[in-house]
Amino acid sequence: MENKTTNIKKIALETIEQEATSIKGLLNFITDDFETIVTLLYKNKGRVIVSGIGKSAIIAQKIVATFNSTGTPSLFLHAAEAIHGDLGMVRPGDVLIIISKSGNSPEIKALVPLIKNFGNTIIGMTGNMESFLSKSSDHVLNTTVSREACPNNLAPTSSTTAQLVMGDALAVCLMELNGFTGDDFARFHPGGSLGKQLYTTVADLIADNPVPKVLPGTPIPETVIEMTGKRLGATAVVNEDDTVYGIITDGDLRRMLHNKTAITGTLASDICSKNPKTINENQLAVKAFDIMRQHDITHMIVTDKNNIYKGILHIHDLIKEGII
């Protein structure tokens, strides 16, 4: 069993190394032609339609998803379905990216002449520069690989990885040219945990939380009652005008008891952490998490723009909302 395990690791490492080599080989294909293609896509007023057959069709779908989520309107067209009616989605002005490792698949040979008759621009993405697709396209993205990671050099592995990376290179270049920002990204990703990270503010998370607070001169017994009643494991210590003075957490109380500090006569100001980490209520919740993680804390004081105390954010609020 030990030898088999060793072989498994060896095969996996060889696979990753072979695919990494294939990706690195793409550096040789980022030429002036690549720049011409990106400029064409950037200036194009129509949509980008990406097509393929077999494994290349799956890569085409991923590239379409990446284009759409980063500001380049795109559609997927399956090469086989195209010649059975789906060509109706192609409009004048659309640019087609057709993906095929061999460039000689029967479906590709049937599709390309039809697209050319429509007058649309064709960008071929292929690993065979002598293929039908390469010679018939207006522009070509070279994704040639030395060999597949498959031990028989047959199953699409390195070649599909190269196609995927070339698609990502196109998408990122177009993002830069289009000035696509984080705010744009948020508009296109409103759902799921990613959407929550991009939209949810600290104020959203503490809206229904209790707001524990005591004055610096509050005796410890009253402070404990405030903390217990509000059930956040902490309380803010605020001045008369509600500006932040400090914070007391369960940990501060435990340290007080460990040090045998007398409860009677001890005030909130005596044990609180002064100048605590604070965050503006309008900041994104994910920013609060970054600060908590960086400083290894579980509570943060929330304030408005005038440093007026608004509440306490607990790490559990972030977890419950799915921010982390």
Q: What is the pLDDT of residue 195?
A: 64
Lowest pLDDT segment from 83-87, 179-183, 262-266, 295-299: 179-183
Residue 134 pLDDT exceeds 60: yes
In order of start, what are the domains of the chain with their CATH numbers? 2-179 (3.40.50.10490), 202-321 (3.10.580.10)
**Statement: residue 131 has pLDDT above 90:** yes
* Chain segment 109-126, per-residue pLDDT in tens: 999 999 999 999 999 999
Instruction: Supply the pLDDT for residue 192.
Output: 59
User: Which of 301, 274, 316 has the alpha carbon at shortest distance from 213?
Assistant: 301
d(CA 281, CA 243): 14
What percent of the chain has pLDDT above 70? 94
pLDDT for residue 253: 92
Give the per-residue pLDDT at 2. 54
Write out pLDDT tens, residues 41-96. 999 999 999 999 999 999 999 999 999 989 899 999 999 999 888 999 999 999 99
The pLDDT of 113-142, averaged and rounded, is 96
pTM given for the model:
0.67
How does residue 194 score in pLDDT terms, banded at 50, 70 and 90?
A: low
pLDDT band at 6 (very low <50, low <70, confident <90, very high): low
Residue 1 in this model has a pLDDT that exceeds 60: no
Q: What is the pLDDT of residue 321?
A: 81
**Contact between 125 and 98 (Cβ < 8 Å):** yes
Residues in the chain: 324
Q: What is the DSSP string of 103-170?
A: S--HHHHHHHHHHHHHT-EEEEEES-TTSHHHHHSSEEEE---S--SSTTS-SSSHHHHHHHHHHHHH
